[in-house]
Homo-oligomer: A and B are copies of this chain.
Amino acid sequence: MPVAGNVALGRDVAIKYPDLVNLYGCVIGDETSIGPFVEIQCNSVIGRRCKIGSHSFICEGVVIEDGVMVAHGVMFTNDRYPRATRPDGRLRAMGDWQLERTFVRRGASIGSNVTILCGLTIGAGALVAAGSVVVQDVPEHAVVAGNPARIIGDVRDRLQQEAVA
């Protein structure tokens, strides 16, 4: 049962294949759609009218506001120094590491195969180009690309519709 009972699903959430996702302990806003092969972990929040594309991973501690596009194969992170085990060789558990939260502000878009390091904020309306690796905050309306992602433009110069929005 890969949509756990503890998911707070909004109205008209579209999950075409509930057996091909893994959602637990998260909040999903109204009219948001979620593709197949998506994992959304506990203590994450997805806003209203978002699109979460196939193969994306949204981890604990991520907050996504309304109207955000997360394309396909997008990986969020929450641990700056990931380790399987503690120095004594035992498996790491909660309390052995520090979660860093990430925020994606209203109307931003994250392209396919993007990687987002932890503790960052993607500004409102920003556009992260496909394949980028985001290692610092992205300003509002910025277009960023590359590894590491750098600002290459402003969304409002490219999308006439944004200028009038």
A interface residues, Cβ below 8 angstroms from B: 2, 17, 19-20, 22, 31, 35-37, 39, 49-51, 53-55, 57, 59, 67-69, 71-73, 75-77, 81-91, 107, 109, 111-113, 115, 117, 127, 129-133, 146-148, 155, 158-159, 161-162, 164-165
Contact = CB atoms under 8 A, between A and B. Distances in A.
Contacts of A148: 146
Given A49-B89, A117-B131, 4 more contacts: A22-B37, A67-B89, A69-B84, A81-B158
Contacts of A71: 75, 77, 82
How many copies of this chain are found per oligomer? Answer: 3
Contacts of A115: 73, 111-113, 130-131
Given A87-B164, A115-B131, A165-B87, A159 B81 contact: yes
Chain A binding surface, main DSSP class: loop
A127 B81 contact: yes
A17 to B, nearest CB: 6
A161 B132 CA distance: 31
A51 B84 CA distance: 6
A104 to B, nearest CB: 11
30 contacts: A2-B17, A20-B20, A22-B36, A35-B39, A37-B39, A55-B55, A55-B73, A55-B75, A57-B72, A59-B72, A67-B84, A67-B85, A71-B77, A72-B75, A73-B73, A73-B75, A75-B130, A77-B130, A81-B109, A81-B159, A83-B107, A83-B109, A85-B107, A87-B161, A88-B165, A111-B115, A130-B133, A131-B133, A132-B133, A146-B148
